[in-house]
Each structure stands twice: as structure tokens, then as C-alpha cells.
């Protein structure tokens, strides 16, 4: 319940400090919603890997930030996709999904 005392960054630090990676689905969903962690995981699974979810979230934030920066500098979508795939070792589909989210 320490996680509830903190928001976002504090919650992530508590999870790291207590070395809790795999937690049950109900707890993961609860923490994600209450602490507003914005983590993505399959809510149908019985166990959630919180470390993987946090790493995935961090990568998405980095890619999103890079897209915003590249757009400011006038990069085309094709150039952005190629650069992001190389820099972050992600697939074309991954980048396109983020671009689609930003367009919505």
C-alpha cells in the first residue's frame, strides 16, 4: 500500500526498491489505475511483470519525445520511422502505432 502514498515516480521507485516484478493481475490493474502509472499489459494474464511494463512505458515515452523533436525539426514521417527503428530497435509497426496515437 506504500504505492498509494506516492504518485507515478514514487510508485515506480517503491516497486523497484521492493524487487516486486511479478504481481497478480488484480494488484497490477489496481496500482496502474490508482497510481496513474500508465503501464500497458495484458489484463487477461494472471501475473504481470511490472519491470517489463515499466521498461516498455519508458521506451514509449522516449520514442514519443523523439518524434516530437524530429517533427519540430521538420523530419518527414519516412525519415522519422527509419531513424526511430534504428535508434530504439523498434519495429515499423511500433512507430506507426505511436504516430497514430499522436494524430488522434
pLDDT in tens, 13-25: 666 666 656 788 8
Name which of 11, 16, 13, 58 is nearest 30 in CA terms.
11
Q: Where are the domains of the chain?
A: 2-54, 57-103
Give the pTM.
0.68
Dist CA 7 CA 44 (whole Å) = 25
Dist CA 70 CA 60 (whole Å) = 15
Q: In the numeric block, which cell numbers belong to residue 78? A: 519516412
* Residue 49 bridge partners (DSSP): 22
User: Which pLDDT tens digit goes with each residue over 51-91?
Assistant: 788 888 899 999 999 999 999 999 999 999 999 999 999 99
Dist CA 27 CA 66 (whole Å) = 32
Dist CA 84 CA 82 (whole Å) = 6
Supply the DSSP symbol for 61.
H
Amino acid at each position: 500500500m506504500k504505492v498509494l502514498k506516492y504518485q507515478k515516480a514514487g510508485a515506480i521507485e517503491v516497486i523497484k526498491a521492493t524487487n516486486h516484478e511479478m504481481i497478480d493481475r488484480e494488484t497490477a490493474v489496481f496500482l496502474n489505475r490508482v497510481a496513474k502509472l500508465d503501464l500497458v499489459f495484458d489484463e487477461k494474464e494472471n501475473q504481470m511483470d511490472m519491470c517489463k511494463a515499466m521498461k516498455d512505458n519508458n521506451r514509449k515515452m522516449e520514442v514519443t519525445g523523439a518524434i516530437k523533436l524530429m517533427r519540430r525539426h521538420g523530419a518527414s514521417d519516412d525519415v522519422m520511422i527509419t531513424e526511430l527503428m534504428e535508434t530504439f530497435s523498434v519495429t515499423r509497426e511500433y512507430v506507426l502505432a505511436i504516430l497514430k496515437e499522436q494524430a488522434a
